[in-house]
A and B are shown apart, each in its own frame.
Chain A
Amino acid sequence: MPDIGTWVAALLTLFAFSFLYKDNPLFRFTESLFAGVSLGYYVGTTLNQTLVPNLIKPLTHDFNQNWDLLVPGLLGLLLYMRYVPKTGWVARYALGIYVAYYIGLDFTRRIHGEVLPQLGRAIVPLSHLDGHTIFYSLIFAIGVFSVLIYFFFSKEQDQFTRRIARVGIWFLMVSFGAAFGFTVMGRVALLIGRLNFLILDWIYPLIGIR
């Protein structure tokens, strides 16, 4: 016989699937339960795995070595001041620092991790390459160029650039098609996972199949 956890998971899965027939209270119950449990899980995990070992323990065990952690700790607390109407403005300072940190981090990440390496790949010397790679690189270069032209909105397109943009649209369509195919595969994989659970872990033990 399946254990109680399997029963709960199986019934909640069926409640979630019931939406495919039509909206109903069981689905809405499952949806709300999922949202609530997810939030509770997130708070609990962050407290146990991040706040306690990275902030509270270092401060309580060795304050002299870790006093600087008071600064991020205090900034974190300030974020909650927004719930006190009179002093809500204080939260903006903490939010400002938080946003500034991630802008700085993201800015360098985008430039050094995305723009420059991708640009470098788009500009390759063809002299050392074999025929297949040259062909592949040319297709790649045409794709990049035509899509860039399609997204160039600072000047009205004339007859010539409109034709190049048209090629860009074809490249985009191929990429959207690939993305859609992968998306279908991904969603089906989730269904496979759920049905696999329902059949192998719930129904089979229930009817005595091992």
Chain B
Amino acid sequence: MARFFDKLLNLDRRWLFLLVFLGVAVPIILPIGLPVTTTGPTRSAFEYIEALKPGDYVIISFDYGPSSAPENDPMAEGIMRQCFLKKIRVVVIVLYQLGGLQLASNSVAKVSAEFPNLKYGVDYVNLGYKDGAAAVMKRMGDDIAGAFPTDVRGTPLSQIPIMKGLRSLRQVSVVVTVATGLIGEYWITQAHQQSGVPVIVGPTAVGAPKYYAYLNAGQLVGMLGGMKGAAEYEKLLAARYPELGRFYKTTRAFTATKGMDAQTVIHFVIILFILIGNIAFMSRRAAQKKA
């Protein structure tokens, strides 16, 4: 037995990589459809947007890049779908430099194609990317057009119908920051504190723990933590809107709900690794003590 544990402790870690690879690949090829349970912070975010009226303004800030797109894309797109269904006016902005603009443009194009009755510039707009997130938010608190003089296509804001009634962050019903890194924090600690605009954050799982402190202090109205949060949101959307339920069930595109199958399997594999590793370590230590 001691030999076996010794072998395990000296196992080439590339075998573990292979097992992790299989743990992720198999559920993608053969989906299991494991259930997703919802949590308080996600429900709060969902219900807050549900309570908004048609014509209210929501800013969706794409504060992430391709490196976290599998987690963040489903959040941004889910919330956009909910807003479009409720006829809430959506203003998309980008504050993350590396790839955020491309992802925002892709998501806007993808989701708006599902709602052909909505019109660009009237029901939604993409204002594009601005450098210097904290300074941009400071300016938006007083004058959105000062920070974003044109939309992503170069059209002046004064010529865009949706922007005619919107001057500052104070008129926005909620800012949804789908974020990696620090920009999500800026929305809470600066924009929310300065202008009082409510904030929902959709952080990557890596960033999620720090946002619980803000949630606890009442500085956030809700949070979608990582891929799990996105899957919860998809579940809430599917339950409230049958058309979205059908969409999430039949779409070939990647959704967070599909990703959660692989997440669950791989967590099981990792827990198993930790248990086996610890048992092997303790057995070897016990054997050494005996010797």
Report A's interface with B, CB cutoff 8 A: 20-21, 38, 41-42, 45-46, 49-50, 53-54, 57-58, 101-102, 105-106, 109-110, 112-114, 117-118, 120-121, 140, 175, 178-179, 182-196, 199-200
With A191-B20, A199-B29 as contacts: A184 and B267 at CB distance below 8 Å = yes
Number of B interface residues in the complex (CB < 8 A): 63
Contact A195 B25 (CB under 8 A): yes
Contact B135 A186 (CB under 8 A): no
What is the CA–CA distance of A118 and B262 in the complex, to the nearest angstrom? Answer: 36
What is the CA–CA distance of A195 and B29 in the complex, to the nearest angstrom? Answer: 10
Given A50-B129, A192-B259, 16 extra CB contacts under 8 A: A41-B99, A45-B101, A49-B101, A49-B152, A50-B130, A101-B135, A109-B186, A109-B189, A185-B263, A186-B71, A187-B206, A188-B266, A191-B20, A192-B24, A194-B70, A196-B70
Q: Mark B122-159, 1 if CB is under 8 A from A, else 0.
A: 00000011111011001000000001111010100000
Closest to A46 in B: B131
Chain B residues within 8 Å of A192, by CB: 24, 28, 70, 227, 259, 262-263
Task: Answer whether residue B165 sits at the interface, using C-beta atoms and an 8 A cutoff.
Answer: no
Contact A195 B254 (CB under 8 A): no
Contact B24 A105 (CB under 8 A): no
State the 3 A-B residue pairs at the shortest beta-carbon distance, nearest first.
A113-B189, A193-B70, A186-B205
What is the CA–CA distance of A178 and B226 in the complex, to the nearest angstrom? Answer: 13
Contact among A50, A106, A196 with B131 in the assembled complex (CB-CB below 8 Å): A50
Chain A residues within 8 Å of B193, by CB: 109, 112-113, 117
What is the CA–CA distance of A160 and B38 in the complex, to the nearest angstrom? Answer: 42
Chain A residues within 8 Å of B216, by CB: 121, 140
What is the CA–CA distance of A210 and B47 in the complex, to the nearest angstrom? Answer: 37
Contact B24 A191 (CB under 8 A): yes
What is the CA–CA distance of A40 and B91 in the complex, to the nearest angstrom? Answer: 27
Q: Mark B65-85, 1 if CB is under 8 A from A, else 0.
A: 001111100000000000000
Chain A residues within 8 Å of B270, by CB: 184
A96 to nearest B CB, angstroms?
Answer: 16
What is the CA–CA distance of A112 and B69 in the complex, to the nearest angstrom? Answer: 31
Contact B209 A109 (CB under 8 A): no
Chain A residues within 8 Å of B14, by CB: 20-21
With A110-B189, A199-B25 as contacts: A189 and B205 at CB distance below 8 Å = yes
Contact B252 A189 (CB under 8 A): no
Helix, strand, loop or mixed for chain A's interface? Answer: helix
With A188-B263, A189-B259, A199-B28 as contacts: A182 and B209 at CB distance below 8 Å = yes
Report B's interface with A, CB cutoff 8 A: 14, 17, 20-21, 24-25, 28-29, 67-71, 94, 97-99, 101, 128-132, 134-135, 138, 147-150, 152, 154, 186, 188-190, 192-193, 204-209, 213-214, 216-219, 225-228, 252, 254, 258-259, 262-263, 266-267, 270
What is the CA–CA distance of A112 and B218 in the complex, to the nearest angstrom? Answer: 14
Closest to A191 in B: B24
Contact B189 A189 (CB under 8 A): no
With A105-B135, A109-B189 as contacts: A190 and B218 at CB distance below 8 Å = no
Contact B149 A57 (CB under 8 A): yes
Contact among A41, A58, A178, A193 with B254 in the assembled complex (CB-CB below 8 Å): A193
A22 to nearest B CB, angstroms?
Answer: 9
Chosen A-B contacts, 7 in total, with CB atoms closer than 8 Å, are: A38-B98, A45-B129, A49-B131, A113-B189, A189-B259, A195-B25, A199-B29
Chain B residues within 8 Å of A101, by CB: 135
Contact B226 A189 (CB under 8 A): yes
Closest to B213 in A: A118
Chain A residues within 8 Å of B213, by CB: 118
Chain B residues within 8 Å of A185, by CB: 205, 226-228, 263, 267
What is the CA–CA distance of A176 and B144 in the complex, to the nearest angstrom? Answer: 39
Contact A54 B98 (CB under 8 A): no
With A105-B138, A184-B270 as contacts: A46 and B149 at CB distance below 8 Å = no
Contact B254 A49 (CB under 8 A): no
Chain B residues within 8 Å of A113, by CB: 188-190, 192-193, 219
